[in-house]
Amino acid sequence: MSLSSETIPFGVILPPTQDELPYDDGVPMETQRHKMQMDLLIDPLIPWLEPREDGYVGGNMFLYFSLAQVRNQDFKGPDFFAVLGVPKKERKSWVVWEEGKAPDVIIELLSPSTAQEDKTNKKIIYQNQVRVPEYFWYDPFNSDELAGFTLKNGSYEPIFPDQFNRLFSQQLGLSLVRWSGVYKTVETVWLRWATSEGEILPTPDELSAQKAEEAQLQAEQAQRQAEASQLQAEQAQHQAEQAQKRSQELETLLSRYRQQFGELPESSSD
């Protein structure tokens, strides 16, 4: 809860807000694939969060958790993070003292220049200072480099893969899976979110494509039904025409008979 100027004791200096803190260091992500992998983790969670009234997902943005961090100008943030139980709104950075909580899940994307830092110092910071409930890392160029940790009694313990080699996030109720496929024209092994049943969460583009495909299938089914109905109508019309033709032929035969032999004799009841 924010404080108004009337409730702030005299002489008390409040910590800076996200509007007052730096939020861009101008440093791009390590590679294009790192950026694509980050997008592939963020984008599917946007439609997944739609039914909820809360939640935020972000990536490659500053995470502020202490004033000492601000004084030291240590502004680096996680490649991906997700937070539940917070309002849905735009952020410039994630400021723990302003939001009231740390991210629930953080994922770092390893590279030769960051792997050691991500596996040691950042892991310690996320465990001891930020106290992030779940921490994962993944190397977009080496799918074997996938690991996850859950915070128990103040320390990170490994999250072991299930029988399908998935890492389950208790915080989100989703699994992280290695998915072989094409994303934005690049074919490789990507890290993706999946439901507990193993169904991959689609990106908005994939969701649109699925809806378009479903609409196409429905249209084709409707066309087949219309063609079947038309065929039935044509068959019924043909049968009616055949019946009418037989009736006319019979009437013609009767007319000829009458002309030659007169009216048909009435049947006798004797």
For 198-246, write each residue's pLDDT tens digit: 999 999 898 888 788 777 777 778 788 878 888 888 888 888 888 888 8
User: How far apart are the C-alpha atoms of 83 and 130, rounded to whole Å?
Assistant: 13
The conformational region for residue 183 under phi > 0 = left, psi -120 to 50 = alpha, else beta, is beta
Residues 264 and 250: beta-carbon distance below 8 Å: no
pLDDT number for residue 247: 85
Give the C-alpha separation, 226 to 218, whole Å: 12
- pLDDT attached to residue 8: 43
Quick one: 47 exposed, middle or buried, by C-beta within 10 A (0-12, 13-18, 19+)? middle
Query: What pLDDT is attached to residue 5?
Result: 37
pLDDT value, residue 212: 80
Distance of CA 172 to the CA centre of its chain: 13
Residue 3 confidence (pLDDT): 35
For residue 2, how many other CB atoms are within 10 A of its CB?
7
Give the chain's mean pLDDT. Answer: 86
- What confidence score (pLDDT) does residue 19 get? 65
pLDDT of residue 82: 98
* Torsion sign over Cα 40, 42, 48, 50: negative
Segments in the chain below pLDDT 50: 1-12
Vertex 23, ends 31 and 80: CA angle to 5°?
50
